Amino acid sequence: MSNSSVYDTQAAQRFIAGQWSDQIIPELERYIEIPALSAAFDADWQASGHLEAAVQLVFNWIRSRPVEGMTVDIQRLDGLSPLIVVEIDAFGSQASQNGSTTVLYGHVDKQPEMEGWRDDLGPWKPVRVGDRLYGRGGADDGYAAFASLTAIEALQQAGGSHGRCILLIEASEESGSPDLPAHVDALLDRLGDVSLVLCLDSGCATYDTLWLTTSLRGLVGATVSVEIMSEGLHSGGAGGIVPSTFRIMRILMDRLEDAASGKVLLDSANVEIPSYRRAEADKTAAALAGRPVEKVTFVEGAGPVVADPAAALIARTWMPSLAYVGLDGMPPTAQAGNVLRPRTSLKLSLRLPPSADPEAVAAELVATLEADPPYGAQVEISGTEAAGGWNAPDLEPWLRTALEEASVEAFGLSMQLFGEGGTIPFMGMLGEKFPKAQFVVTGVLGPESNAHGPNEFLDVAYAEKLTGCLAHVLHAGARR
């Protein structure tokens, strides 16, 4: 297609639909079959080769596409997971020649299998049921590389324009992106002046319109171990004399969290919530009323900590919350004898408000747990990790207009805004390095999609429409 052609949006949409059915779905099915666990869950990831297999699958598909002005390579740094780097020259008669760069982002590493998959499903078993493609990683975030490149190719095929683009596909996001800062530092000269960041690793509150993520929480993770004696003892003989390591752990956890309310007690983890984010939550809650949204399936008689819809949105985006995600030292109940165990280890996942300082929170958490150990027990904190949150800058008028147009064109409804409870460390990192950049953070993780859990699925129809929205924004960005 000639660079002087007029952009045919209908042709672009037809191209995107064809790519999803003929190219992307088959590749995603092959990708889902790869148990490409992130390094945090596969210490021998280099030897197992699964991450490399996922990287190669995506790399080979990208390399096969006839995108004009594209170069693709795999950046490798000693001891770190690889990074796919795709550089595409500006294209089209309306493309700006201001030299700025649009960065598109995704990842190929995955969360662990998790229990509870339906009998007909499995983490490494791609299954298509209607618009749902089940399997680990398809929605989080394997589709992003395919959708991003397809949006660019659609513009070129349909006479559209786009600016200079760099697509980064990492392989450590599910471990907190520990490898990404070094990769980005090595790429700073190639990245140049980053003016726009497009990330498809977030979510949507419904599948009927475009949702833009306005904030992401930070994260502090750590494993706490308590040891009181060198070996286990009969609970009949030692009970009442030797304190249970689980009880000691409960005492320590009470320093971090109010057990009745769930309030996190670390000063550094609590921030003043911006008034405009509270107003946004009120507006989003009103927009969601009566629409099919994510629902928690509580057991009979149970209910949420916060029931008010707007307050619940604030709770999952601007309030810290502590989860206990792993436990060592306890035998299965079927094998549990009457023994006072010598050691208990608990893995913590502390979600932070977007503006909280994760390093300060990590330091306060460690100091709080190590101070004055109950009964003189040995308390060890290991595996501490800290990732910053992100609060989106205001949208420039051209970008707000482009997003609104894209949403109406694809869905027939206006764009909606909401904060997300998850963490994407790359966003905060780029926000610091490129403070003038605009951000479009969105994604397909909507109702029941269950990322990280059993029965994860990608809503194919939504992903296809989101690809069209991406193309619209890229074309608008080229003309600004």
CATH code assigned at 227? 3.30.70.360
Which residues, listed in sequence order, are joined to residue 386 by a DSSP beta bridge? Answer: 220
Alpha-carbon distance 415 to 400, whole Å?
9
Using one digit for the tens of pLDDT, what is the confidence trace for 47-61?
A: 999 999 999 999 999
Using one digit for the tens of pLDDT, what is the confidence trace for 344-400?
A: 999 999 999 999 999 999 999 999 999 999 999 999 999 999 999 999 999 999 999
Final residue belonging to a domain, choices 360, 387, 414: 387
Count structural domains, the chain.
2
Shared domain check, 400 and 379? no
Shared domain check, 323 and 202? no
| Residue 235 structural domain | 218-289+306-387
Shared domain check, 196 and 120? yes
Alpha-carbon distance 34 to 54, whole Å?
7
Final residue belonging to a domain, choices 358, 387, 416: 387
**Cβ–Cβ < 8 Å for 467, 106:** no
Name residues whose C-beta falls within 8 Å of residue 104's C-beta, 6 or more positions apart in sequence: 144, 148, 165, 166, 167, 168, 197, 198, 199, 200
**Cβ–Cβ < 8 Å for 116, 177:** no
pLDDT value for 331: 95
With the C-alpha atoms ordered 473, 477, 479, 480, is the resulting torsion angle positive or negative? positive
Name the band, by pLDDT with cuts 50, 70 and 90, for residue 208: very high
Asked, for residue 2, whether it belongs to a domain, the answer is no
Asked, for residue 1, whether it belongs to a domain, the answer is no
Shared domain check, 257 and 150? no
Shared domain check, 23 and 97? yes
Asked, for residue 301, whether it belongs to a domain, the answer is no
Alpha-carbon distance 310 to 116, whole Å?
31
Shared domain check, 461 and 411? yes
Alpha-carbon distance 43 to 137, whole Å?
19
Using one digit for the tens of pLDDT, what is the confidence trace for 145-179?
A: 999 999 999 999 999 999 999 999 999 999 989 99
Shared domain check, 457 and 402? yes
Shared domain check, 255 and 190? no
Shared domain check, 174 and 49? yes
Asked, for residue 296, whether it belongs to a domain, the answer is no
What φ, ψ does residue 415 adopt, rounded to 5°?
-65, 150
Q: Is pLDDT at 5 greater than 70 in this prediction?
A: no
Shared domain check, 259 and 200? no
Q: Is 364 helix (H, G, I), strand (E, B) or coil?
A: helix
Final residue belonging to a domain, choices 354, 372, 387: 387
Buried b (16+ CB within 10 A) or exposed e, 119-152: eebbbeebbeeeebbbbbbbbbbbbbbbbbbbbb
**Cβ–Cβ < 8 Å for 100, 480:** no
Name residues whose C-beta falls within 8 Å of residue 228's C-beta, 6 or more positions apart in sequence: 242, 243, 245, 248, 342, 343, 375, 377, 378
CATH code assigned at 29? 3.40.630.10
* Alpha carbon distances (Å) from 392 to 23, 276, 354: 33, 12, 9
Asked, for residue 204, whether it belongs to a domain, the answer is yes
Shared domain check, 198 and 316? no
Asked, for residue 43, whether it belongs to a domain, the answer is yes
Q: Among candidates 95, 79, 83, 106, which has minimal Cα distance to 190? A: 83
Asked, for residue 299, whether it belongs to a domain, the answer is no
pTM of the model: 0.90
pLDDT value for 93: 80
Q: Is pLDDT at 417 greater than 50 in this prediction?
A: yes
Shared domain check, 227 and 189? no
Asked, for residue 74, whether it belongs to a domain, the answer is yes
